Structure 1
């Protein structure tokens, strides 16, 4: 098996159906990839749908009690047979050559420490219904036809900053479980995902940190893109889960770690990503061509996500 695609899902049936339909139409021979989908205790009809789904794909469905995405991905990893594993979410879609491009990237580089990170284009919740209407109007939609619905997302922009300005010492910030692949042995050798993270974030960034520490080489592939069908965010579950996970990161997982401490300052908007990179490199602060710095604030990001949900509900 060349490639194992790993997908956790939780109460996201409508988007999951679309995501699976695009995986069904991949140009890679179906005997060369499998999909391991872990249902993390959904109660929205996902289990019933998957139980009745007829597909020619090598699809393995595992159901577990609701224990979080980290646990779900680790369960899938334990079952993966592909030489390489590709992590995506249950709300992304991609063109027919998506899997092929990921696999060929590894073949071209032939580096067991390579982590391929693709581009994620965000379709915000406010544009979701219009995008779905267009998707459903055609037998097969080329994903770039959805570009009119795409909107810049501040969190996804962090990855662009890393690549655009060659901030290699914080390249682990760009690791994402929505569009990334690596050898199965590499991810297993670093211990998989930390199941102490439950709820949203930052289990993928923390995995990226361990991968970087183990000698991983991150390569951004702008042409390996998928489209994220964003979902409404609830302030209670979104924000409270993040606070708990950040405490776990700093107080339990990495107490006293200066790089993780700087990461917290960065996502709090207190230092720029350029300052963060300079600290990790133990070098001088290097500005980009126009001399500006780039800041990100999680709190404002979350509040805007919740606001989008409220505006659509009106």
Structure 2
């Protein structure tokens, strides 16, 4: 492989955040050789044209891969990026994560052995639409300074970031340390087994299956570094997070994905795989699933919830 690093950015109609990501990637304080691969999960032509107009003369190679819009297919999109990559190390970024200027250098330095999964941190900064008008004009350095400390982050985002960081550190010392790694800001050495399972269609949990498989079947070691920073500028419509959209169709795809993951890894505890299911309630009138606030831990039986969902999917899941 001819380059030190390939940065693979998965996007779907996230033009504004992608521009910030590319500007940051082109200004990185990185001593090695690298390329940028934008892998598109079916965006309109507007996204490609916007990037072409602004970045077609980049001194760093930028590649662009596109696939048809057939629901959320992040696994297939990431594989498209892997297929055309030339880097010894692959860094995966989501299309709503703007990396700090030392992100590439820290990721590469963290790989002290070939079989590692290195996960960086996400600093939650709310929805991009709510802060876009506040972003400073001029160099990307000014934008990143603003995202770090230039405005008052909403309390919900602060709590999310705090909880996520604590959970990841807890996962690392648990029986399932692979849970500490998400796909949004994570790197791994290229190897033939570094592929995502394209049977996942719809949101989640293709990244956990990827991490679990590499760690349990191929001997990889997960590492979480909270000093490897990316700024999370949420674009809910683009991501398809079922807990944000509440769409029945997307909930059904998420359920199918979760059962598919569990059936591949049946040794995992139910509550760790199906942790989101207590937030789904079936409306008896419409026979459609809805998202509700998380109930109290002792108010439900996870086994009953899982079996109810499995029975519903077997009867209605393919209609």
TM-score tier, shorter chain, comes to: 0.7 to 0.9
Shift of the 147–89 alpha-carbon distance from structure 1 to 2, 3 Å rule, reads: farther
Determine the C-alpha separation between the residues in 1 that align with 2:159 and 2:206: 19
Contact 2:171–2:180 (CA under 8 A) maintained in structure 1: no
Q: Which residue of 1 aligns with 2:7?
A: 5
Query: Which runs of 5 or more structure 2 residues have no equivalent in the other structure?
Result: 280-290, 295-319
> Counterparts of 1:88-107 in structure 2 under 5 Å?
88-106=93-111
Whether 2:14 is the aligned partner of 1:20: answer no
Relative to total residues, which structure has the larger helix share, 1 or 2? 1
- Calculate the aligned-residue CA RMSD, in Å: 2.9
Q: TM-score, normalised by structure 1?
A: 0.74
Determine the C-alpha separation between the residues in 1 that align with 2:79 and 2:268: 26
- Count of residues in correspondence between the two structures: 266
Could you tell me which of 87, 91, 110 is aligned with 1:86? 91
Shift of the 147–181 alpha-carbon distance from structure 1 to 2, 3 Å rule, reads: farther
Determine the C-alpha separation between the residues in 2 that align with 1:66 and 1:196: 15
Q: Which residue of 2 aligns with 1:157?
A: 163
* 1:73-117 residue CA offsets vs partner (Å, 9 max, x unmatched): 0011111111100010112112221101111111xx2x1111111
Q: Which residue of 2 aligns with 1:194?
A: 197
Query: Which runs of 5 or more structure 1 residues have no equivalent in the other structure?
Result: 271-297, 302-314
Contact 2:92–2:187 (CA under 8 A) maintained in structure 1: yes
Contact 1:202–1:246 (CA under 8 A) maintained in structure 2: no
Q: Which residue of 2 aligns with 1:182?
A: 188
Could you tell me which of 121, 124, 131 is aligned with 1:122? 124
Q: CA deviation at 1:209?
A: 1.4
* 1:216-255 residue CA offsets vs partner (Å, 9 max, x unmatched): 1111111101101012347657663243133233157616
Determine the C-alpha separation between the residues in 1 that align with 2:40 and 2:198: 16
* 1:25-47 residue CA offsets vs partner (Å, 9 max, x unmatched): 11125x70111111222116112
Shift of the 104–251 alpha-carbon distance from structure 1 to 2, 3 Å rule, reads: closer
Determine the C-alpha separation between the residues in 2 that align with 1:145 and 1:155: 15
Shift of the 7–153 alpha-carbon distance from structure 1 to 2, 3 Å rule, reads: farther
Could you tell me which of 218, 221, 231 is aligned with 1:227? 231
Q: Helix, strand or coil: the match of 1:215?
A: coil
Q: Which residue of 1 aligns with 2:303?
A: none
Q: CA deviation at 1:164?
A: 4.2
